């Protein structure tokens, strides 16, 4: 707290009240009295001390956490509005690769830090622990956004609803805010053998997802890992519900500017998974010179620079962490000044793209599911 000092004022009610009828000359004389001069000196000394204190305080704020600078950065959107009218929070805790035994604590930390969006999937095999942490948090269901994903083995229309029911049960919730087709690839039931027909034409699977919206079990449906051609292949059908989002790998190393531009033109929101480059590339992402320079310039962390950049690009961002301090750090994002945002965008799009996730070979597809890598 700065020292309390009396402000210099243009009038002094006390003095005026001493002799309200006195002339301007006599008031001037009384101001020049010994007491008045002493008061003036005291006020000047205190004012000087106050200015010194404030200057030092301002310098201190430029120390490591740079909260002074952070406060000056304008804020980014906290939510996006989907075609359904639902508002989806722009930053989520991603729980892919958050193993059982640690994911619950991460969710607890996230909810305490202010996150209201948890992005999970049936295949992450951690939904029960996520559900338990949500239940124990005391945060009401209406305040939360919960996403899960339909795994490839459940694309057959008769399997879709029971797959969702299993996720609902594990998460201990009556409905999902968002349910995604996890991949544009269907496996035959209980196998990892590709169902070529349902993969080539995901419309029957989508129709079941539409039914789940009608039943009120999911509020929004979308896709994940779809490229433009695969989205168009789906949306060429007479859909009752359009995909609300497409969740894809987006990072400094794989920024997909063409997909992003196309999605914006077509009113489709993208969600960025592995936004920091996942555990395989996170170090390289955070150490990228452009990221480092901007972080230093703004006094925020490299992870905050990247997460902010994602939201500023107009996508949802799903950073994963099971480290409490990082979970907290990743939630605080800031609008980058336009020139710095452009610098980062240029740096991210000026090197050959590098994905972390591409299971095309391991699933024996015989083609690249993203159509961007030669096999």
Residues at the interface with ligand A2P (CB under 6 A) = 94, 274-279, 282, 286, 303, 319-323, 326, 329-330
Min dist CB 61 to ligand A2P, Å, is 22
Per DSSP, what are the bridge partners of residue 296? none
| 79 φ/ψ angles, rounded to the nearest 5 degrees | -145, 160
Instruction: Please tell me the distance from the alpha carbon of residue 245 to that of residue 249, in angstroms, as a whole number.
Output: 13
Active site includes 124?
yes
SS3 144: coil
Is 199 or 321 the residue whose CB approaches ligand A2P more closely? 321
Indicate left, alpha or beta for 326 from its phi (over 0: left) and psi (-120 to 50: alpha). Answer: alpha
Instruction: Please tell me the distance from the alpha carbon of residue 30 to that of residue 34, in angstroms, as a whole number.
Output: 9
Is 205 or 274 the residue whose CB approaches ligand A2P more closely? 274
Runs of H (alpha helix) within 153-272: 157-171, 196-200, 203-214, 228-235, 257-265
The tokens describing 219, both together, are: 């509020």
Is 147 or 278 the residue whose CB approaches ligand A2P more closely? 278
Min dist CB 283 to ligand A2P, Å, is 8
SS3 273: strand
Is 51 or 65 the residue whose CB approaches ligand A2P more closely? 65
Min dist CB 99 to ligand A2P, Å, is 10
Min dist CB 102 to ligand A2P, Å, is 8
Min dist CB 316 to ligand A2P, Å, is 13
The DSSP H or E segment spanning 118 is strand 117-119
Instruction: Please tell me the distance from the alpha carbon of residue 59 to that of residue 46, in angstroms, as a whole number.
Output: 20
Is 94 or 104 the residue whose CB approaches ligand A2P more closely? 94
Residue 210 burial (C-beta neighbours within 10 Å; 0-12, 13-18, 19+): middle
- Identify which of 253, 367, 263 has the alpha carbon closest to the alpha carbon of residue 313: 263
Min dist CB 306 to ligand A2P, Å, is 9
Query: CA of 47: how far to CAs of 37, 70, 74, 84, 238, in Å?
Result: 15, 28, 32, 57, 73
Min dist CB 335 to ligand A2P, Å, is 19
Residue 43 burial (C-beta neighbours within 10 Å; 0-12, 13-18, 19+): middle
Is 159 or 329 the residue whose CB approaches ligand A2P more closely? 329
Is 150 or 327 the residue whose CB approaches ligand A2P more closely? 327
| Catalytic-labelled residue, pool 5, 48, 80, 124 | 124
- Greatest distance between any 2 Cα atoms in the chain: 102
Q: What is the DSSP string of 71-102?
A: HHSPPPPSEEE-TTSPEEESB-EE-TT--TTT
Q: Catalytic positions, please?
A: 124
């Amino acid at each position: 707290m700065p020292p309390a000092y009396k402000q210099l004022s243009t009038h002094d009610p006390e003095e005026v009240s001493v002799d309200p009828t006195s002339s301007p000359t006599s008031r001037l004389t009384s101001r020049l009295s010994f007491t008045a001069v002493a008061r003036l000196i005291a006020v000047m000394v205190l004012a000087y001390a106050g200015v010194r204190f404030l200057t030092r305080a301002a310098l201190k704020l430029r120390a490591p956490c740079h909260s002074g600078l952070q406060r000056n950065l304008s804020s980014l959107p906290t939510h996006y509005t989907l075609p359904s009218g639902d508002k989806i929070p722009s930053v989520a805790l991603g729980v892919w690769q958050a193993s059982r035994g640690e994911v619950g604590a991460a969710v607890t930390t996230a909810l305490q830090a202010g996150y209201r969006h948890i992005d999970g999937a049936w295949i992450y095999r951690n939904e029960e622990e996520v559900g338990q942490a949500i239940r124990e948090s005391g945060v009401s269901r209406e305040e939360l956004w919960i996403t899960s994903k339909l795994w490839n083995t459940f694309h057959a229309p008769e399997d879709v609803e029971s797959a969702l029911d299993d996720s609902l049960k594990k998460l201990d919730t009556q409905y999902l805010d968002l349910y995604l087709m996890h991949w544009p690839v269907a496996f035959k039931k209980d196998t990892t053998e590709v169902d070529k027909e349902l993969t080539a034409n995901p419309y029957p699977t989508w129709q079941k997802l539409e039914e789940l919206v009608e039943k009120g079990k999911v509020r929004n449906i979308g896709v994940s890992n779809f490229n433009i051609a695969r989205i168009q292949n789906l949306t060429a059908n007479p859909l009752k519900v359009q995909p609300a989002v497409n969740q894809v790998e987006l990072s400094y190393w794989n920024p997909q500017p063409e997909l992003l531009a196309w999605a914006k033109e077509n009113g489709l929101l993208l969600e960025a998974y592995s936004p920091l480059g996942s555990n395989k590339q996170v170090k390289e992402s955070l150490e990228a010179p452009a990221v480092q320079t901007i972080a230093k310039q703004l006094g925020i962390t490299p992870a905050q620079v990247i997460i902010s950049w994602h939201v500023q690009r107009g996508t949802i961002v799903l950073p994963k962490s099971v480290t409490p301090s990082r979970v907290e750090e990743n939630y605080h994002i800031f609008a980058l000044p336009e020139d710095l945002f452009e610098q980062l965008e240029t740096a991210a799009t000026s090197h050959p793209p590098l994905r972390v996730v591409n299971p095309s070979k391991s699933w024996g597809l015989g083609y690249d599911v993203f159509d961007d890598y030669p096999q």
